Amino acid sequence: MSSSDLALQLGLFVVSLLANLLSALAGGGAGLVQLPALILLGLPFPLALATHKLASVALGVGATVRHLSEDSLQPRLVAVILLSGLPGVWLGARWVLLLPQRLAVLLLGLLTIGLGVYSLARPQLGATARPRVLDGPAQLVGALGLFAIGVLNGSLTSGTGLFVTLWLVRWFGLDYGRAVAYTLILVGLFWNGTGALTLGWSGQIAWRWLPMLLLGSSVGGYLGAHLALAKGSAVVKRCFEILCLLMGASLLFKSL
C-alpha cells in the first residue's frame, strides 16, 4: 500500500469515527459530515451516497450493542417506526437522483436549523419522558410523520436522523436519551440498510473505501451511545441542538 493510499484509509477512519460519534450522541447527523467528506475525497455524488448509506449501517450496529444492554426499546414503538418509515425510505431512495439537489439541500438546511431553534425554545422538551397514550388518529399522524421522514432519509440522507429524534420526543413523548436509542438502532440499522440496498442495487459501492468507513462507524456508534447513556438527556438535548444549528448552516452554505 502506497503512502497516499494509507493516508486515504486513515482519513476515512477518522472522518467516519468523528461523524458517527457525534451522530450517536446527538441522535443523527452523521451524513452531514461523512457524505460531503466522501465527495470532497473524490467520489461522485451517487457513488458517495450509496457508500455512505452502507457504511452508516455500522453506526446502528455499534449503537445497538451498547443500547440493547440497557433494555431501551419497546416492541410496539419499534414496529411503528419500522412499518411506517421503511416504505418511505425505499420511495425516497428511488427518487433521489430525480431531485434538484441544490434546492433539496437548501430546504434541508432550513429544516435542520428549525429543529435546533424549536428545541432551544423549549427547555423542558425531552428533558424527561412523558409517554403519550395515542388513539387511532394520533397514531396515524405519528406514522405519517415517520413515513415523511423516511422519504427524506432515503432521498436526502444527511441529518434526517435528527428529524426522527425530535419527532419521537415531540409526538411520542420520549426523552432525548431514549429517542436517540430508537433513532440509532432502527434508523441506523434498518432505514439506512434499506436505503443502501436500494441505492446499491441501482448504482455502485466504493468497496475499497468501505472497510475503514465501517470500522469508524461501528466504533463511533458505540462510543457515542455510551456517552449518551452516561451523560443523560440534558447533555444529549444540548448536543442535538448544537449539531442541528451547525449542520443546518453547513447545508445552507453548501446550497449556495
Per-residue pLDDT for the chain (256 aa), expressed as one digit of tens each? 677 788 889 989 998 888 888 777 776 667 767 877 787 787 877 777 778 878 877 767 766 766 666 666 788 888 999 999 989 888 887 776 566 667 766 776 787 788 778 778 877 765 666 766 677 788 899 999 999 888 887 776 566 777 888 889 888 888 887 888 888 788 877 887 777 777 666 656 888 898 999 899 888 888 887 887 787 777 777 777 787 787 778 778 777 7
- Cα separation of 91 and 20, whole Å? 25
Report CA torsion sign: 150, 98, 36, 50. Answer: positive
Residue 147: the pLDDT is 94
Residue 60: how many CA atoms within 13 Å on its side-chain side?
18
The size of the chain, in residues, is 256
CA torsion angle 90 250 143 117 (round to 10): 180
* pLDDT attached to residue 145: 92
d(CA 92, CA 214): 23
Environment class of residue 242 by beta-carbon count within 10 Å: exposed (0-12), middle (13-18) or buried (19+)?
A: middle
User: Residue 219 corresponds to which amino acid?
Assistant: V
pLDDT of residue 150: 86
**What pLDDT does residue 97 have?**
59
**What pTM, to 2 d.p., does this model score?**
0.73
Q: How many CA atoms, within 13 angstroms, populate the side-chain half-sphere of residue 46?
A: 14
pLDDT of residue 157: 58
Closest to 217 measured CA to CA, from 3, 7, 12, 9: 12
Residue type, position 191, single letter: W
**Alpha-carbon distance 120 to 222, whole Å?**
27
d(CA 215, CA 221): 10
d(Cα 136, Cα 182) in Å, to the nearest integer? Answer: 22
**Helix spans in the chain (H):** 3-26, 30-40, 45-67, 75-95, 101-120, 136-155, 160-170, 176-182, 192-202, 210-231, 233-255
